[in-house]
Amino acid sequence: MSTIALILAGGFATRLRPLSYTRPKPLLQILNRPIIDYILEKVVNLDVDTIYISVRYMAEKIIEHVDTSWENYKDKIQYLIEDRPLGDAGPLKFLVNKAISENKTILVLNGDIFSNIELGEVLRFHKKKGGIATLVLTRVTGDLSRYGVATVDAEQRIVSFVEKPKDARPEGLVNAGVYIFEPEVFNYIEFRDDRPMKLSIDVIPRLLKYGDVYGFIHEGYWFDIGTPEDYLRANFTALEYMCLNDNSDCIKGVCEGTIHEPCFIDDGVYVKKDSEIGPYTIILRGSRIEGTVKISNSILLNHVTVNKGTYITGAIIGEHTYIGKWVRIESGTVIGDYTYIADNTYIARGAKIGPHREITESIYKEGAVLP
């Protein structure tokens, strides 16, 4: 099977603001690695001819990171630069001629998925089933209204697919953002230039009418990093898989305080004595935590400074943020990069504070937004 891969990394990530004001979603870190690195690590180990990365929003940042971090694969990686939003189906039109003329199977992956999906197993499943397409599906409980929901038969053939169903379903198999397409699918796709095209709306339902589409059911962990809450949960799952059994491998910096496992303390981090870190806390490169600080269930991105007496729980703190003395930051708060939080400040639950802000007075309103 001759295969090419397409990683979709062009979205705006509006629901991740204020974090996505200053970085594209694929460069958000899970522990200390960008999401796109986890995806590329899986793809480069496959027998694929070329890896295409479709970029638009902050494209130069993604290209710079990939060119630097994946230099050994530069002959294998190419970029599709979108001149306008194309949707997740639009970039496929750049691959039509190659796929058909060279009989290439196309592996498509969303660039914001953190999972332990075994792509080799998916490709083998696809080849065995012999359909025109395969979707990776994963089981989700709770609110399914933000997903594409599939039903499969006993042969794992998809018999129905509903994007963002409005009926209340307690659980279901949802689209996991990994697709395999045979070149003949292009016989059934009508590319349009007047609007962005969606795989789940413009492609998958159409393919179900004309050929066999199968669902590979993934039973491991899977996160669509769509919101700050998703981002926290993905990091906490990474902590459980990578740090819970032997947390010593996850303490790379200097921590003189007390650690409640699991935690990840990156290189160049310094935590002074009398502070308490964790559980479920990630502190990334170059951050400095003074004494008598307590941080739990939170992510601190690179080069954050936290001064003495501060309490942080359930928050995401952007890069190069400075937090003063005796500050209290409540659960659900997201603070953008390069923000200054003055001494003795209270930040209420669920506040969203944009980057490059100076917060000199307390925020008492829950869910307040300061863009």
Distance CA 349, CA 352 (A): 9
Task: Give the pairing type, strands 322-323 and 311-313.
Answer: unpaired
212 close to 101: Cβ distance less than 8 angstroms = no
Calculate mean pLDDT across residues 337-360. Answer: 98
Structure pTM?
0.92
Q: Say whether both 197 and 252 belong to one domain.
A: no
List the domain range (segments joined by +) for residue 305: 243-370
- For residue 168, what pLDDT is reported? 62
Q: Which residue has the tokens 């697919």?
A: 161
Q: Say whether both 331 and 268 belong to one domain.
A: yes
Q: What is the number of residues in the chain?
A: 371
If one counts the domains in the chain, the total is: 2
Q: Say whether both 254 and 317 belong to one domain.
A: yes
- Residue 42 falls inside a structural domain: yes
pLDDT band of 1, cuts 50, 70, 90: low
User: Interhelix angle for 59-69 vs 35-44, to 10°?
Assistant: 50
Residue 85 gets the label, from left (phi > 0), alpha (psi -120 to 50) or beta, of beta
Q: Say whether both 270 and 347 belong to one domain.
A: yes
DSSP letter string over 104-154?
-EEEEEETTEEE---HHHHHHHHHHHT-SEEEEEEEEES--TTSEEEEE-T
Of the residues 183, 198, 230, the one at which a domain ends: 230
Q: Say whether both 109 and 161 belong to one domain.
A: yes
Q: Say whether both 132 and 58 belong to one domain.
A: yes
Token output for 273: 């004595």
Q: How far is CA 362 from the centre of its chain?
A: 31
Calculate mean pLDDT across residues 316-321. Answer: 98
- For residue 145, what pLDDT is reported? 84
**249-257 contacts: CB < 8 A, separation 24 or more?**
250/31, 253/283, 257/289, 257/291, 257/293
Question: Hey, what amino acid is at 241?
Answer: Y
Of the residues 175, 208, 230, the one at which a domain ends: 230
Q: Say whether both 202 and 253 belong to one domain.
A: no
Q: What share of the chain is helix, strand, coil (3-state, %, to 5)?
A: 25, 35, 45
Write the CATH number for 194: 3.90.550.10
Q: Is the pLDDT of residue 359 over 90?
A: yes
Distance CA 40, CA 66 (A): 9
- For residue 171, what pLDDT is reported? 84
Calculate mean pLDDT across residues 139-159. Answer: 90
Q: Say whether both 281 and 337 belong to one domain.
A: yes
- Residue 235 falls inside a structural domain: no
234 close to 218: Cβ distance less than 8 angstroms = no
- Residue 238 falls inside a structural domain: no
Judged by DSSP in three states, 168 sits in coil
pLDDT band of 97, cuts 50, 70, 90: confident
Residue 275 CB-half CA count within 13 A: 26
Q: Say whether both 216 and 274 belong to one domain.
A: no
Token output for 228: 């700050």
Token output for 45: 């180990």
pLDDT tens-digit map of 154-213: 999 999 998 888 876 778 899 999 999 999 999 888 887 778 889 999 999 999 999 999
pLDDT band of 52, cuts 50, 70, 90: very high
